[in-house]
Structure 1
Amino acid sequence: MQVEQLRATLESALDRAGHAAAELGASEYLIVVDDLTFVVRNSTVTTILPDGSPSSRARALAGGYLQRLAFGGKVEGRNFGVTRTGPARFDLTKLVPMLEAVHERLAPVHIERLPFEKLIARYDRPGALFYCDPPYHGCEDDYGQGVFSRADFARLRDLLEGAKGRFILSINDHPDIRDLFAECAIEEVGVTYRVSGQVTAARELIISGGRGESE
């Protein structure tokens, strides 16, 4: 059976903290690859270049290296991720194909650095589909200080429930989240968490809705 892959005519991604723009937008990415050639995968390395460097090349170099090695891919509070069953998490031999694949996938995407309410207002229309991946309830600072707050869950819900399009939101299973989105469709999904270093069974919620659901 042949499955047709559908592609949206317009895609936009929210990069509120500016990490994707810095790490994927460096024009001299082959020079960045050269700079990383002899960097060892060292657990004592928590930064390569000073924070706030104005160079897009420097930010791509530091950000890409650290993000690949950070356990769980955390933006804030990065720590060194290892596995006892596989090779190093940063493999330079696979870096160029990975960057090329990411570039091809994101080439037609509008990458916005806006508050989420402004992005939703800009792109909301009948037929739109918003996929939302907010930080877990109780881990609001994981995307960066001040990027998302506990109160923003209710603000996001109000915006999504009034949207002309539809939405899908994934989040950890928490009573507060169930209460906030009680009027929406909620699907419970079993998952396994490994970021703590231990395998822990858990549940997440796939929440969907929007005024477009009834059209």
Structure 2
Amino acid sequence: MNGFERSGRKVSAFPYIGSKTYLAPWVVEHLCDHETFVVPFGGAAGVLLNKPRSRAEIFNDRDEYVVRFFEAVRDRSDELAEAVRDIPYSRGLYNEWSRQFRDPEQDLGEDLVEEAARWVFLRYASFSGRYGQRAGFATDTPRKGPQKSEIWARVPERIQLLRDRFKGVAIECGDYSEQFKRYDGDDVLFYCDPPYTEEKDNYYRGPLFDHAGLVETLRAVDGEWIVSYSEPPEGLEDLATAVVERSYNRSASLDNSDRPERLYCSYDPAAAPMWSVVAQQTLPATDGGEQR
């Protein structure tokens, strides 16, 4: 039994569209036996943060802001926590830094720590978690439950906990295909959480994703893989050995409806040797760290 199964607690590094934080226990249940765990589409690291450690773990994202945030967490966590603590939950700062973030001619910060602190503030302060467009400032409301400003005030503590989990994790910044070439082999499991096929470019930063290219890449992989999709691209279901499905409410979707979440596996979870490790305590509960 894993730590999150005992406690019912799950954590995400920051609010991020498509994060698998709340689905992490379900995903982990379907991981086959492996020595090396590779996440080619890192995002908020929802699954990685909520699983016990593998012998070797690799986190990759093509977005340099995501990668530099985790590098700051791992290597300069005390400075980052202090920088975050000094940022008030301010609409004015959100508007200023949001403009800078979307201006290719401006830097979001003067060094790694300042940039990471301002960037993660934008993740917490952006309404609905949309990343590829300015979504507006997420204000506190009269409703019950933790307020946005209250959640932001807890982020310095979260950074210290993220640091502990990311010790020993290799961090890469590149296209997913580079990670398949670099790490493919026996006893390797790739967990892929690409953008959804139905999402548009205003949800994510960067160009529209080539789903057909991912399918072709998977055809050549020697290790095992498991891919999260709601609606798969053409050819993936034929390539997969097994498909596991459940319904899931994506709160950041436009219609706020339940949709299927599917795991496409290169192996059969009902027949393959499944991953078994000594359970360890995972990070404390998320209190608003995921957007879907």
TM-score (norm 1): 0.80
In structure 2, which of residues 185, 193, 211 is the aligned counterpart of residue 153 of structure 1? 211
Secondary structure of the 1:181 match is helix
Distance 2:146 2:89 in 1: 13
Is the 1:32–1:60 Cα contact (8 Å) retained in structure 2? no
Amino acid at match of 1:89: K
Asked if the contact 1:41–1:88 (Cα under 8 Å) also holds between the matched residues in 2, the reply is no
Following TM superposition, by how much is the alpha carbon of 1:41 offset from its aligned partner in structure 2, in angstroms?
4.5
| Pair 201,87 (structure 1): closer, same or farther in 2 beyond 3 Å | same
Equivalenced residues, count: 206
Say whether the 8 Å CA contact 1:157–1:181 is kept in structure 2.
no
> How far does residue 32 in structure 1 lie from its aligned partner after superposition?
0.7
SS at match of 1:145: coil
- Is 1:194 aligned with 2:251? yes
Q: How high is the sequence identity, in percent, across the aligned residues?
A: 23
Query: Which among 69, 85, 88 is matched to residue 125 of structure 2?
Result: 69
Residues 17 and 143, structure 1, Cα contact 8 Å, conserved in 2: no
- Given the superposition, is the C-alpha separation of residues 114 and 44 from structure 1 closer, same or farther in structure 2, using an over 3 Å criterion? closer
Query: Partner residue of 2:63?
Result: 17
Letter in 1 for 2:205: G
| Partner Cα separation in structure 2 for residue 29 and residue 100 of structure 1 | 9
On the 8 A contact 1:14/1:116 being kept in 2, the answer is: yes
- CA separation of 1:155 and 1:190: change in aligned 2, threshold 3 A: same
Out of 41, 48, 51, the residue aligned to residue 97 of structure 2 is: 48
Paired with 1:206 and 1:43, the residues of 2 have a C-alpha distance of 41
Equivalent position of 2:238 in the other structure? 182
Q: Partners of 1:56 and 1:41 in 2: how far apart?
A: 21
8 Å CA contact 2:245, 2:262 repeated in 1: yes
Distance 2:272 2:222 in 1: 10
**Any stretches of 5+ residues in structure 1 without a counterpart?**
none
Q: Deviation at 1:74?
A: 3.1
List 4+ stretches of structure 1 deviating above 4 A: 2-6
Paired residue secondary structure (2:121): helix
Q: Is the 8 A contact 1:172 1:204 kept in 2?
A: yes
Distance in 2 of aligned mates of 1:8 and 1:112: 17
Q: Secondary structure at the match of 1:182?
A: helix
Once the two structures are TM-superposed, the CA of residue 134 in structure 1 deviates from its matched residue by 0.5
Q: 1:33 aligns with which of 84, 93, 101?
A: 84
2: distance between equivalents of 1:30 and 1:44?
A: 18
Structure 1 residue 44: Cα displacement: 8.5
Q: Residue 17 of structure 1: CA displacement?
A: 0.8
What are the ranges of 5 or more consecutive residues in structure 2 without an aligned counterpart?
Answer: 4-50, 274-292
User: Would you say 1:122 and 2:182 are equivalent positions?
Assistant: yes
Paired residue type of 1:96: P
SS of aligned partner of 1:76:
coil
The Cα of 1:198 is off from its aligned counterpart by 5.4
Following superposition, the deviation at residue 9 of structure 1 comes to 1.4
1:25 is displaced (CA, Å) by: 3.0
